[in-house]
Amino acid sequence: MNRYIVTALALAALATSGCMSPPKDLDLALTRPTVDGKYVVTLQPPAKPAAINQLHAWQMKLTTPAGTPVPSSRIRVDGGMPGHGHGLPTKPQVTRELPDGGYVIEGMKFSMTGWWEIKLAIEGPAGADRVTFNTVVAETGPGR
Amino acid sequence: MTWVLSTTAAALCGALTVTLADAYDPAPPAGLVRWSADEKAVLASLSLKRLPAAPVDPSNAVERQPAAIELGRLLFEDKRLSRNGDVSCATCHDPAKQFQDGLPVSRGVGTGTRRSMPIVGAGHAVWLFWDGRKDSLWAQALGPLEDAVEHGTNRTRVAQRIALDHRGAYEAVFGALPRLDDLPGDASPKGNAVEQAAWSAIQPHRREAVSRVFANVGKAIAAYEKSLLHAPTRLDAYLEALLRGDRAAGGLLRANEARGLRLFIGKAQCVSCHNGPLFSDQQFHNTGVPPRDTTRPDRGRAAATAAVRSDEFNCLGPFSDAQPEQCQELRFMVTDDPALEGAFKTPGLRGVADRAPYMHAGQFATLEQVVRHYVAAPHAALGHSELTHRHDGAGPPKHAERAPIELSEAEIADLVSFLRTLSPVTSKAFEVD
């Protein structure tokens, strides 16, 4: 999909949700350091986008700041829509580990378009830390 | 309806205006508001044509069988499945009234505490009832049967009535009925003390056999309910014409209705929760709707998650046809979010103008009162409202991220006018699959 179309769709989602302004520095990066810098997390959404209100799985990779994979960590998933004051419609969980610091997050679901936060609380060998990802869920509209 | 992730920076509303400046339809219908390409994408998402078939319920193996659908239709209208012989599912879910009853709180053998919900489209819901205390349509159908103020009947009595009145139709779908005529006529794990004692006295394997018949009653009723489809509305006719570029679209919606639609998907923020072809996100929200009984405010979703998790008729229970791995909604259910306190399911809005009163306990008599509630945005009696308001003009709203819903008198009128376009174009409120 054309990058400009994606952006326009994201904007439309924000606009039609009442024109709520996300923070000006909203960062949509899928690789982020944790708040205290103990880890680096990369989130990977499914290759085929899921429909609104459809359960689906994400993957994540946990490494040290130097890039060494961090297995066997405890990860809690939380989040919600900051502009609406409500949380995620489901309680996603890390259900299994993959090689090289990979983890599978099942039970992901978005119930509407707009700005969502995905918050991860990590307890690993370097201690506890947390990170928040922003994602903008938009509609692709046949008939456009 | 799919979502995509934008990896580019999100821009703000001000930028949006510029972005869309050149995107307006070059030949808008005369006399109507113009829609941008992005607004059209949202409008398309509301069209009934965009509604996929209801997802398959793996916990109900018979839901597509015509014989189960027909049995379910008979059971839905069968008043013998009640304590006083005068209450059927159709009593509170009247097919002539969009499968609801027009009352603030429903009346079965007694009086309930919440509004009866319409049924068409319910097969798309993950959680059933206003508080989502059931996780399937068939489990939902069982609740009222054993509820003391709804049907007021009990498990063995229902099973015995099936054997007496519907044996042939039942056995054609579910196989041979167990022997039931030697069991006590009133026994249930959910009933009064006498009924519970009688239930406990029945051997476990026979209790399970009775419960299986009872569960199958729910599965047949669910099959019938799932066969009911929404009829197209005036809005659908407008959207279809608009989206295929038909200039005749302009004649299908009045200017005030079109202005109301723009408010609905924009400034009034309705589409935030009333999204998709059913106009519901199927989730739970506290919007500060005043409780019907202020001395006993209703906890809504917060009190229901434990109930659905422990329900013997849930997706993971012994009467479900699903494999455990198919019960993901139950597995990933939110149970500990403070936002569930006083939260109720977003109702769909198709046909809404024809089924006053409104909200989970019929608190508002008119659509105008409903809209005014969202503008007033009162504090919640229990939990916290998601709405924002500049109460008394003092300072910024509490949730600065969310804009207050501020509408003029004319805008309120336009929004209500729009909501009336969600009624079917024909006299038929529903169609049968």
How does pLDDT run across B293-308, given as a tens digit for each residue? 989 999 999 999 999 9
pLDDT recorded at residue B429:
56
User: Is the pLDDT at B262 greater than 90, yes or no?
Assistant: yes
* Half-sphere exposure of residue B356: CA atoms within 13 angstroms, side-chain side: 11
Least confident of A68-77, B336-345, B375-384, B386-395: B386-395
The residues facing A96 across adjacent strands are A104
Assigned token pair, B265:
């998907």
pLDDT recorded at residue B3:
39
User: Is the pLDDT at B144 greater than 90, yes or no?
Assistant: yes
**Interchain proximity B272–A84, CB inside 8 Å:** yes
Residue of B nearest to A144 (CA): B41
- The alpha carbon of residue A51 is apart from the nearest alpha carbon of chain B, in Å, by 4
Q: Which of B164, B173, B135 is nearest to B345 (CA)?
A: B135
Residue of B nearest to A9 (CA): B38
Residue of B nearest to A108 (CA): B332
Mean pLDDT, range B35-51, rounded to an integer: 93
Mean pLDDT, range B70-81, rounded to an integer: 98
* Half-sphere exposure of residue A14: CA atoms within 13 angstroms, side-chain side: 28
C-beta of residue B202 within 8 angstroms of C-beta of residue B160: no
When comparing pLDDT for B249 and B365, which is higher? B365
C-beta of residue B234 within 8 angstroms of C-beta of residue B199: no
Residue of A nearest to B46 (CA): A141
Residue of B nearest to A116 (CA): B5
- The alpha carbon of residue B58 is apart from the nearest alpha carbon of chain A, in Å, by 15
Q: How far apart are CA B208 and CA B190, in angstroms?
A: 14
User: Is the pLDDT at B107 greater than 80, yes or no?
Assistant: yes
Mean pLDDT, range B213-224, rounded to an integer: 98
pLDDT recorded at residue B282:
95
Given pLDDT bands bounded at 50, 70 and 90, which one contains residue B420?
Answer: very high
- Please give the C-alpha separations between residue B303 and each of B335, B338, B346, B347, in angstroms, as whole numbers: 9, 11, 17, 19
**Interchain proximity A55–B328, CB inside 8 Å:** yes
**Interchain proximity B266–A111, CB inside 8 Å:** no
User: Is the pLDDT at B394 greater than 70, yes or no?
Assistant: no
Nearest neighbour of A7 by CB, restricted to B8, B337, B405? B8
* Chain B neighbors of A52, CB-CB under 8 A: 1-3, 275-276
Mean pLDDT, range B214-229, rounded to an integer: 98
The residues facing A135 across adjacent strands are A116
Query: What is the phi/psi pair of residue B271, to 5°?
Result: -70, -10
pLDDT recorded at residue B38:
85
ipTM: 0.81
Nearest neighbour of A16 by CB, restricted to B5, B266, B334? B266
Mean pLDDT, range B177-190, rounded to an integer: 96
Q: Name the pTM for this structure.
A: 0.88
pLDDT recorded at residue B243:
93
Beta strands in chain A (DSSP E): 31-33, 40-44, 56-63, 74-81, 86-87, 93-98, 102-108, 114-124, 127-137
Best interface-test mutation with B: which of A16, A96, A136 has the largest number of B CBs within 10 A?
A16
* Chain A neighbors of B21, CB-CB under 8 A: none
Q: Which of B392, B376, B356 is nearest to B287 (CA)?
A: B376
**Interchain proximity A112–B1, CB inside 8 Å:** no
**Interchain proximity B3–A110, CB inside 8 Å:** yes
Please write down the long-range contacts of B12-19, taking CB distance under 8 Å and 24 or more positions apart: B12/A14, B12/A21, B12/A22, B12/A24, B13/A14, B13/A15, B13/A19, B13/A21, B15/A11, B16/A11, B16/A12, B16/A14, B16/A15, B16/A19, B19/A8, B19/A11
**Interchain proximity B8–A28, CB inside 8 Å:** yes
**Interchain proximity B38–A12, CB inside 8 Å:** yes
* Chain B neighbors of A109, CB-CB under 8 A: 332
User: What is the pLDDT of chain A when averaged over all its residues?
Assistant: 83
Q: Which of B147, B152, B128 is nearest to B138 (CA)?
A: B128
Q: Which of A20, A41, A23, A39 is nearest to A31 (CA)?
A: A41
The SS3 assignment for A124 reads strand
Nearest neighbour of A112 by CB, restricted to B20, B275, B388? B275
B392 Cβ contact list (under 8 Å, min separation 6): none
Alpha helix ranges (H) inside chain A: 3-16
